[in-house]
């Protein structure tokens, strides 16, 4: 209970603090809150997955259990960044359901998403084209097409798909990501700040952190990354954004801390080249020694 109270108190201070105070809280947040709190979140997801798999073992033909297991693997892939493991498992579950003639459209959509995550773009596109006509209509199908095109880097196709995807907050997030990919950073930032949906607050903060980092607004990127991590500790890509932004402003210890936390969640993490040398702190000099002055 005491540990939980201290975590909540730290997060509350971080949320209420001003910019400078928020930065001071960041050290404590990354070192003493983010890792254990996120590991609990990861443990919770794994527990839910274990429960879903036990239910599936009892009822191997349950469409609901198959869908739940696949979705939880997708969530774990997003949380840890370990797509090779979790998207492959999600794909296996979806294909098992489809071999059993599942009538649930979610199994087809999750299969397509998993194939795309694994880089199997041609197969993902073929599966999409094989969908019944009714499943290729409407905003949800348009958003799926947009995600497939984003994964392939086909930005013109993304724009075409999003034009048919309606005006939901999810669609606006995809428009902002398209703007970021196209280098239209001012438009992307404005689009994100215009999203007011409480349900998408964390996703907006994560997206803003990426845009602000790309714009060179490093303090803003740090603030948005911390805001997202306060709500969803341990999101690996957000931790990498935080590490890059902290490195850009010269806070190497904080950048190293964020990177080490990210590696805790995904030991096989592909670290950006500019952060590769930050895995270990610099060796301290022996007492009494002095470094030569640079010429």
pLDDT digits (tens, 9 = 90+) for 177-211: 999 999 999 999 999 999 999 999 999 999 999 99
Contact 135/119 with Cβ under 8 angstroms?
no
Model pTM above 0.95: no
- Residue ranges of domains in the chain: 1-46+197-265
DSSP string computed for 84-128: HHHHHHHHHHHHHHHHTT---HHHHHHHHHHHHHTT-HHHHHHHH
Work out the mean pLDDT of the chain and round it to a whole number: 84
Per-residue pLDDT of 56-99, as tens digits, reads 999 998 999 999 999 999 988 988 889 999 999 999 999 999 99
Fold of the 1-46+197-265 domain? 1.25.40
Residue 227 has which token pair? 């805001």
Q: Is the pLDDT of residue 122 over 90?
A: yes
């Amino acid at each position: 209970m005491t540990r939980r109270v201290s975590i909540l108190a730290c997060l509350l201070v971080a949320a209420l603090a001003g910019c400078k105070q928020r930065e001071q809280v960041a050290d404590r947040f990354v070192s003493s809150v983010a890792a254990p709190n996120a590991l609990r979140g990861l443990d919770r997801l794994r527990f839910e997955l274990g429960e879903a798999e036990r239910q599936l073992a009892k009822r191997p033909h349950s469409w609901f259990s198959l869908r739940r297991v696949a979705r939880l693997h997708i969530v774990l892939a997003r949380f840890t960044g370990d797509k090779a493991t979790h998207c492959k498992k999600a794909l296996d579950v979806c294909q098992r359901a489809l071999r059993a003639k599942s009538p649930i459209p979610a199994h087809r959509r999750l299969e397509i998403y998993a194939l795309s995550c694994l880089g199997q773009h041609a197969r993902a596109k073929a599966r999409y084209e094989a969908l019944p006509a009714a499943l290729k209509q409407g905003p949800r199908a348009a958003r799926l097409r947009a995600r497939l095109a984003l994964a392939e880097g086909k930005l013109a196709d993304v724009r075409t798909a999003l034009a048919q995807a309606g005006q939901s907050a999810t669609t606006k997030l995809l428009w902002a990501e398209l703007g970021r990919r196209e280098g239209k950073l001012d438009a992307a930032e404005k689009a994100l700040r215009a999203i007011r949906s409480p349900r998408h607050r964390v996703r907006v903060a994560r997206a803003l952190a990426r845009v602000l980092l790309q714009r060179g607004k490093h303090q803003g990127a740090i603030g948005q990354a911390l805001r997202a991590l306060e709500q969803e500790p341990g999101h690996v890509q957000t931790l990498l954004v935080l590490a890059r932004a902290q490195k850009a402003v010269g806070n190497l210890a904080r950048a190293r801390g964020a990177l080490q936390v990210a590696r805790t969640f995904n030991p096989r993490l592909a670290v950006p080249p500019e952060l590769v040398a930050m895995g270990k702190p610099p060796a301290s000099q022996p007492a009494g020694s002095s470094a030569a002055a640079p010429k």
